[in-house]
Amino acid sequence: MNVNQHTPMAPPYGQPQPGYGQPGYGQPNYAPLDGGYPAPYAPHNGPASAYHPGIPQQGYSSFTSFPSKAMAANPISDPCSPLDLGPARGPPTSGPPPVQAAPQYNQHSSGDIQNGPPPVTQAPPRPPASMQYNQGGVNMSAQQPSFPQHYGPPPTMHQVTNQMTGMHISSGPPTPAGPGYAPPPSSQPPTSSHYGGTPQPSYSQSHPPASSAPSQPPPSSAPAVSQQYYPSSAPPSQQPFNSLPPTSQQRFVSPVQPQQTFPPSSSSSYSGPAPPPTHTSSAPVTQPQQPFLPPQPPFSSAPSGQPPAFTAGPPPPTQGSFPLQAPPPSSQPGSFPPPGPPPSSVASGQYPSSMPPPPQQQPPQSQPPPFHPGPPPPQSQMPPTSIGQSNHQPPGPQGPPSPTGPLQQPPLQQGMPTGYPPQHNGAFGQVRSPQPGYGGPYPGQPNYGAPAPAPQAQKRLDPDAIPSPIQVIEDDKAKTNEPFTTGVRGQAPPLVTTNFQVKDQGNASPRFVRCTAYNMPCTADMAKQSQVPLAAVIKPLATLPPDETPPYVVDHGEGGPIRCNRCKAYMCPYMQFIEGGRRFQCSFCSCVTEVPPHYFQHLDHTGKRVDCYDRPELSLGSYEFLATVDYCKNNKIPQPPAFIFLIDVSYNAVKSGLVSIICQELKSLLDHLPRENPEIDSVIRVGFVTYNKVLHFYNVKASLAQPQMLVVSDVSDMFVPLLDGFLVNVNESRQVIESLLDQIPEMFADTRETETVFGPVIQAGLEALKAADCAGKLFVFHTSLPIAEAPGKLKNREDKKLIGTDKEKSLFQPQAGFYNNLAKECVTQGCCVDLFLFPNQYVDVATLGVVPVSTGGSIYKYTYFQAQSDQERFLNDLRRDIQKPVGFDAVMRVRTSTGIRATDFYGSFFMNNTTDVELAGLDCDKAITVEFKHDDKLSEETGALMQCAVLYTSCSGQRRLRIHNMAVNCCSQLADLYRNCETDTIINFLSKYAFRGVLNNPTKAVRDTLVNQCAQILACYRKNCASPSSAGQLILPECMKLLPVYLNCVLKSDVLLPGADVSLDDRAYLRQLISCMDVAETHVFFYPRLLPLVKLESGALPVAVRDSEERLSKGGVYLLETGLHLFLWVGASVQQELLLNIFGTPSFGQIDSSMTSLPVLENPFSQRLREIIESFRAQRSRYMKLVVVKQEDRAELMFKHFLVEDKSASGGASYVDFLCHMHKEIRQLLS
C-alpha cells in the first residue's frame, strides 16, 4: 500500500514533505503492502521482498533514508509500502526545499531511525512527523528533502508518485525489488530517479545505521556512507532502475534530494551516483530551489534523471549491505524490507541480519511470487507498487512523506515500538544497525521471507508505517512561519491545527471560508471522475484573533450597496472597471453595470480604480455593507433583538438544582448581553418564561414593585399573554428582574409537576417576538420528553432494536411534523432557538432538535445533569452562548461565477427555496458547508469565484451585509486538483453529507457510500495521476493521505456506528451538532488531540501523539480533547512526581476520578497544565468538562472510545485494518 500521497502542496509542504518524503519512501513499503494488503501482508511481503530487492536497493542506495523506509517497507511487507508514499514525497521534497528540511528530515528520517542521534535534535522536531514514519521517515527524511523539492515543483504529483514509486522502489530498493519497482515507476521516472537516489541503498547501507542514518543525523555520518553507498549502489541501481524508471527515478530523485538535503555531499554523492547525473543535477537543483521551484525542476529533470536514479537505485540495494542482500532479494530486504511494509519489516530484520536477503528472496517468492518474478521481475512488480507509491510520492513531496512516514514508522515501531520516531530514531540513530534491529522487530518479515507468513505480516502492518495525522499536523506547523496572505488565487491555507496569521488581500480568510479544493476541475466530467467533493465551509461571522482586523463596514449611502444589475453580486475586488471607470463588468455573470455617479472614480494605468486600496470592497476578501431599508423585512428598520429565557420548572429541573443555578447565573449574565460597542449598554431586551405543563410568563416592567406572573394553560393554542413588560431593558428593570430570579426557585420548590410541554414553549417565544415585532433568540432549558397534552407532544420511541435495520433512519427523523412547521415560522420571524437539554432519559433529541437546528440555534445536552459536577460546564456554555456575537434574521446567498453553482447546503438553517439559506440566528461558531456542482465549464484563466453574502441584523439592531469573496483556481489536469485539496475540509463535508444521509438511508448504506466515494477519489488519483505501479500499492495523494484515517473516524463515529451504550439521543445530538461545525471542530472531533504530559514548557504544547492505545505509556499522563470532551488519562504506573505535580497526591490510588477540575498547585507543571486546559477550552465553542480517567478504571472504556486509530468496541475498524480495506476497495475499482 503505497500511501503515496502527492504533495500537491509541494510548495509549502515541500519542505516538510521532505520529511514525509522520507516516510514516503516508506511507500515502497506500501508497494509491498499492496501486495500485502490484498493478501494481507504476507503476499505483500512477498512482493515486497521482491520489490524490496529492486526498490530497496534503489531507495536505500540513493537515500539513506529510503533505505530505512525501504527497510520499513520491505520488512513490513509491501503492506507497509503504503507508507512508502512517504518516501515518494521524501524524494521530491527532499530535493529542493528539503534541502534544509530535507536534510533535516533526511537526517531526521534517518535520525528517526538511525540518524536520530545526531540529527536528533534537529531530527526530533521533524522526526516527529517523519519520526513516525520513522523507518520510512528516517529514510524518508532523506528522501523527503528531495520530495519537497520535487513537490516544490508543480509536478510534485508526479514527483510524488515518482517518489512514491521511488519509495516503493526504495522499499524495493533494498533489494532487487527496488529496481524492479523502479522499472514500473519508470513511468514515473522521476520517482525512479528518487529511487535512483535509492536512498534506500544508502539507507540500507546506512540502514542498519541507516535506520538511524536515514535520519539526517546519521546522514552526516551515515549519509556519507550512504552516499557512498549510494554512489556506489546508486549507479548500479540506477542502471537497473533506469530500466525501471519512474518510481525508481522518483525515489532516486528523492534520494537525490535527500542527498542534497543531506549533506551536499550526500546529494552530490547521490547525484553522482544515483540519477546519476540527471538526478543529481535535478536534485541539487531542486534543493537549491528548495522552495518550490526546485521541485519542479527536479521533476522535470528528475524524470529523465530519475531513471538513472533508479538505475542507481538498484545499485544502492546492492550497495552496502544491500548489495549482498540485494542480489538475492536481500538487497531489498535489507534496505527495503524494512521499508516494505510487512516485508519491509521482515526485510529490515533480514537486512540487518542479512536476513533481508533471504526474506526478500523468500518473501518475494512466497508472497511476491508474482513479485518474484518481480525481483527480477520484482522490478516490474515493484514498479507497480512502487509506482503507486511513487506516483503518489511524486506529488508526494507531501504525499511521499507521509507514505514514507508510514513505512518508516513501521520500521520504527518495530525498532521502536512507540510511534515516536524521533526518539526511536534517536535510538536507531545510535544504532546504526537499527535495521538489524528492525529486522528483529519486523519478525514479520522473516515470516514473510520464509513461507507465506503473509497473514501475519498483514496483521502486523505497522501503524507507524501508515500516514500519521500527527506528522502532517506538525509538518504543517513547522512550515507555516509567515502570515498567510489571501491574495494568491487557489492557494491552500495552512491546516486548521496550525496557528497562523491571515492577511486579507482580496480573498476571504480561511477563518471564514475553507474549500475542499483550491483547484477545481474545469469540467463536470473531471469532477465526476475524481469524486472529490467540491465544497466550501463558510463561517460567516467567525471571530478573528485580536491581531486581525474584523471586516470593515462600508456604507454606500442611501442607494445601498453597489451591485451587479443582473446577478446582484455585490461590489468586490473581482469586478472589472471599464470605460474609464464609468462601468464595471461583473466577474460572476459578465454583465456590465453603470457605476453610479457618487461611486465613480478614475482608473489608473493598470485599469484599477485609483481608490482601490481605500475601499475595502475593492481590495479585501471580507467586509460588510450597511444595508438600507430596502434590505429590511417589510421595509422597516428592525427593532433591536430580544433574548427570551424559557426555563423548565418541572420536578426534575427543580430537584436537580437546575432552576436555581440558571436563575442565579442569569442575574449576572444579563450584564453581558452581546453589544457592538462595549461602552454602551446592550440594546437587547430580555424576557422570562417558566414552564412545566403550562407556561408562566412574567411581567417585569420597570414600574412594577413586584414581577407579575401570567400563567397560560391553554397550551394547545399558544399566545403571548402580555405585551408591555414582557420584553424589557435589563437596566431599567433590574430590580424587578432580580426579584423575579430570586423568587422563581422558591415558587416552584415544592412542585410535583413532572410533565412538560415543548412545542408551546417555542411557540410562546415566537409569539412574543412576533408581538414585539423583532427578531431574537430563545434560550430553552428543558429536561424531559414532552408528554403533556399539547401540540408537539411526543412519545417515547426509543427502540434499540431498530438499530442496524432499514428503519434506523426513522430514529433520526422527527416523529412529528409539527416541529418542522414551527421551525418554518420561527425562521420567518427571525426567532433563533438555543436548546439546553438536561435529560435523565430519552427525550427524543431528533425531534426536539428540529427547531434549534432549523433556526441556526445550538443544542446543548447535559445527560444526568448534576449540579455539582455539571454546573461548571453548563454555566460556561451558557455564558458563552449568551455573550457570543450573533446576527439575526439572516439570509445567506452564495453567488458563483458562471460554470459552477452552489447546489447543496449543510448546517443549521432553513431553506425555502434552493438558493437562500435562511438563518433565524447566526452566531460566530456556526459554519455552513456549501457544495458546488458544475453546470458548465470553468476556465483556467479566470478560475472559479464565489461570493457569500449574509444579510443580517446585528445585535444592535443594525441591518448589515457581510460579504466573503473567494476565488480558486481551475485545472484541466486531475493532478492539480489532487494537489490542492484539503482533507480536513473534505472530511467536514463528507461527515455532514453522511450525517444527513442517515435521515433517509440505512446507516450501513451511508457508510458504504462514504467508503465508496473515498475509494473512488483515491482510485481516480491512482489511475490518473499516479505513475503506473503495481496494483498492490496503495498510493495516496499527498493532500489526502490522511483521508483514510479521518474517514475511518467518521465511519466509526457514534452516529454511523453506535456502540451499545450510545443512546439514540446522543446520536441525534451529535448528528445535529456536527452539521454546523467548522473544519477545526470536525477535525478535532473526529481525530481527537492526545497530548502526552511529560515535560510541559511554557509557550509550546507537547507534540501530540496518535490516538491509539499503543501510544499510551503506562507511566504517563495524557490529555485528550475532542472539542466536546476533555480527558486526563493517568497511567497505572505513573511517576510519583507527576502525580504530585498534577494532583498533589503521591499515590495513583488516591486520585479522585470524579474531580472536574485539577487542584491548584503551586508548581510550574500544574500551572502549565491548567493553562493548557484553559487554552483548550477557550479554543472550543463548548466548554469541555475535565474527566480524569485512571488506567484500568471503568471509565477508561469511554476514554478508549476516542482512541480512534484502534478498533472500537462497537466494531469500528482500526486504522490499519481500514487502510487495508480501503486499499482493497481501490484495487477493486482499478481492476
Partner 1 sequence: MSTYQEFIQQNEDRDGVRFSWNLWPSSRLEATRLVVPVSCLFTPLKERPDLPPVQYEPVLCSRANCKAVLNPLCQVDFRAKVWACNFCFQRNPFPPSYAGISEVNQPAELMPQFSTIEYIVQRGPQTPLIFLYVVDTCLEEEDLQALKGSLQMSLSLLPPNALVGLITFGRMVQVHELSCEGIAKSYVFRGTKDLTSKQIQEMLGLMKPAATGPQGRPVAPQDAVASCRFLQPVHRVDMNLTDLLGELQRDPWPVPQGKRPLRSTGVALSVAVGLLEGTFPNTGARVMLFVGGPPTQGPGMVVGDELKTPIRSWHDIQKDNARHLKKATKFYEALANRSAANGHCIDIYACALDQTGLLEMKCLSNLTGGHIVMGDSFNTSLFTQTFQGVFSKDFNGDFRMAFGGVLEIKTSRELKVCGAIGPCVSLNSKAPCVSENEMGIGGTNQWKMCSLTPSSTLGIYLEVVNQHNAPIPQGGRGAIQFVTQYQHSNTQKRIRVTTITRNWADAQSQIQHIESSFDQEAAAVLMARLGVFRAESEEGPDVLRWLDRQLIRLCQKFGQYNKEDPTSFRLSESLSLYPQFMFHLRRSPFLQVFNNSPDESSYYRHHFTRQDLTQSLIMIQPILYSYSFHGPPEPVLLDSSSILPDRILLMDTFFQLVIYHGETIAQWQKAGYQEMPEYQNFKQLLKAPQDDANDILETRFPMPRYINTEHGGSQARFLLSKVNPSQTHNNLYAWGQESGAPILTDDVSLQVFMDHLKKLAVSSSA
User: Is residue 747 a contact point for partner 1 (CB under 8 A)?
Assistant: yes
Binding region for partner 1 (CB under 8 A) out of 307-315, 515-523, 715-723, 1104-1112: 715-723
DSSP per-residue letters across 17-55: HHHHHHHHHTTTTHHHHHHHTTS-HHHHHHHHHHHHHHH
Shortest distance (Å) from residue 771 CB to partner 1: 8
Shortest distance (Å) from residue 982 CB to partner 1: 54
Shortest distance (Å) from residue 688 CB to partner 1: 11
- What are phi and psi for residue 195, nearest 5 degrees? -50, -45
User: Is residue 787 a contact point for partner 1 (CB under 8 A)?
Assistant: no
Cβ proximity to partner 1, 629 vs 711, nearer residue: 711
16 Cβ neighbours under 8 A, 6+ residues apart: 93, 101, 105, 126, 129, 144, 148, 398, 401, 475, 476, 478, 479
Pairing of strands 592-594, 622-626: unpaired
Planar angle of CA 1057, 1061, 1065, nearest 5 degrees: 75
Which member of 524, 722, 1094, 1140 binds partner 1 (CB under 8 A)? 722
Cβ proximity to partner 1, 234 vs 736, nearer residue: 736
Give the span between the Cα atoms of 541 and 924, in whole angstroms: 5
Element housing 1224 (H / E):
helix 1215-1230
Mask for 667-706, x = binds partner 1 (CB under 8 A): ---------------------------x-xxx-----x-x
Cβ proximity to partner 1, 747 vs 911, nearer residue: 747
Q: How far is CA 261 from CA 30, 105, 110, 879, 1038, in A?
A: 24, 8, 12, 52, 20
User: Is residue 743 a contact point for partner 1 (CB under 8 A)?
Assistant: yes
Show the 3-state SS of 880-943. HHHHCCEEEEEEEEEEECCCEEEEEEECCCEECCCCEEEEEEEECCCCEEEEEEECCCCCCCCC
Cβ proximity to partner 1, 642 vs 1039, nearer residue: 642
Place of cell 500544574: 1166
Shortest distance (Å) from residue 721 CB to partner 1: 3
Cβ proximity to partner 1, 585 vs 743, nearer residue: 743
Shortest distance (Å) from residue 695 CB to partner 1: 9
Shortest distance (Å) from residue 1180 CB to partner 1: 39
Place of cell 528540511: 101
Shortest distance (Å) from residue 705 CB to partner 1: 8
Q: Which residues pair with 644 in a beta bridge?
A: 687, 778
Cα of 874 vs its chain's centroid, Å: 28
DSSP per-residue letters across 101-133: HHHHHHHHHHHHHBSTHHHHTTTTTHIIIIIHH
Binding region for partner 1 (CB under 8 A) out of 520-528, 592-600, 712-720, 1132-1140: 712-720
User: Is residue 745 a contact point for partner 1 (CB under 8 A)?
Assistant: no
Which member of 487, 657, 721, 1059 binds partner 1 (CB under 8 A)? 721
Footprint of partner 1 on 546-565 (CB under 8 A): none
Cβ proximity to partner 1, 513 vs 712, nearer residue: 712
Which member of 714, 940, 1137, 1174 binds partner 1 (CB under 8 A)? 714
Shortest distance (Å) from residue 727 CB to partner 1: 12
Shortest distance (Å) from residue 728 CB to partner 1: 13
User: Is residue 765 a contact point for partner 1 (CB under 8 A)?
Assistant: no
Which member of 524, 578, 632, 709 binds partner 1 (CB under 8 A)? 709
Shortest distance (Å) from residue 724 CB to partner 1: 4
Nearest partner of 171 among 31, 298, 9, judged by Cα: 31
Order of strands across the sheet with 928-934? 513-515, 535-538, 928-934, 900-906
Shortest distance (Å) from residue 772 CB to partner 1: 11
User: Is residue 749 a contact point for partner 1 (CB under 8 A)?
Assistant: no
Place of cell 457514534: 1054
- Torsion, Cα of 604, 606, 609, 610 (10° steps): -40
Cβ-count burial of 679 within 10 angstroms (0-12 exposed, 13-18 middle, 19+ buried)? exposed
Cβ proximity to partner 1, 736 vs 1184, nearer residue: 736
Which member of 708, 754, 1179, 1191 binds partner 1 (CB under 8 A)? 708
Which member of 634, 713, 868, 1231 binds partner 1 (CB under 8 A)? 713
Shortest distance (Å) from residue 1186 CB to partner 1: 39
951 Cβ neighbours under 8 A, 6+ residues apart: 627, 631, 890, 891, 892, 893, 959, 960, 961
With CB under 8 A as the rule, give the number of residues binding partner 1. Answer: 25
Neighbours of 1211 (CB within 10 A): 10
Shortest distance (Å) from residue 699 CB to partner 1: 8
Neighbours of 521 (CB within 10 A): 25
Footprint of partner 1 on 1049-1088 (CB under 8 A): none
Shortest distance (Å) from residue 709 CB to partner 1: 4
Which member of 604, 671, 724, 1192 binds partner 1 (CB under 8 A)? 724
Shortest distance (Å) from residue 629 CB to partner 1: 22
The answer to whether the CB of 336 falls within 8 A of the CB of 204 is: yes
Cβ proximity to partner 1, 194 vs 696, nearer residue: 696
Shortest distance (Å) from residue 1052 CB to partner 1: 48
Cβ proximity to partner 1, 722 vs 1198, nearer residue: 722
Binding region for partner 1 (CB under 8 A) out of 234-242, 288-296, 742-750, 1103-1111: 742-750
Show the 3-state SS of 341-385. CHHHHHHHHHHHHCCCHHHHHHHHHHCCCCCCCECHHHHHHHHHH
User: Is residue 707 a contact point for partner 1 (CB under 8 A)?
Assistant: yes
Q: DSSP 3-state assignment of 1200?
A: helix
Which member of 637, 711, 749, 1197 binds partner 1 (CB under 8 A)? 711
Cβ proximity to partner 1, 770 vs 996, nearer residue: 770
Cβ proximity to partner 1, 599 vs 719, nearer residue: 719
SS3 content of the chain, % helix, strand, coil (to 5): 50, 15, 35
Which member of 719, 821, 958, 1158 binds partner 1 (CB under 8 A)? 719
Pairing of strands 552-554, 622-626: parallel
Give the span between the Cα atoms of 1123 and 603, in whole angstroms: 49
Nearest partner of 3 among 184, 175, 168, judged by Cα: 168
User: Is residue 725 a contact point for partner 1 (CB under 8 A)?
Assistant: yes
Cβ proximity to partner 1, 612 vs 771, nearer residue: 771
Planar angle of CA 826, 828, 831, nearest 5 degrees: 40
Shortest distance (Å) from residue 656 CB to partner 1: 23
User: Is residue 488 a contact point for partner 1 (CB under 8 A)?
Assistant: no
User: Is residue 712 a contact point for partner 1 (CB under 8 A)?
Assistant: yes
Which member of 482, 717, 935, 1192 binds partner 1 (CB under 8 A)? 717
Pairing of strands 916-923, 1185-1190: unpaired
Cβ proximity to partner 1, 708 vs 1153, nearer residue: 708
Shortest distance (Å) from residue 1185 CB to partner 1: 35
Name the DSSP letter for residue 644: E
Which member of 632, 710, 802, 1155 binds partner 1 (CB under 8 A)? 710
User: Is residue 1017 a contact point for partner 1 (CB under 8 A)?
Assistant: no
Nearest partner of 760 among 709, 707, 822, judged by Cα: 822
- What are phi and psi for residue 718, nearest 5 degrees? -70, 145
Footprint of partner 1 (CB under 8 A):
694, 696-698, 704, 706-714, 717, 719, 721-725, 740, 743, 746-747
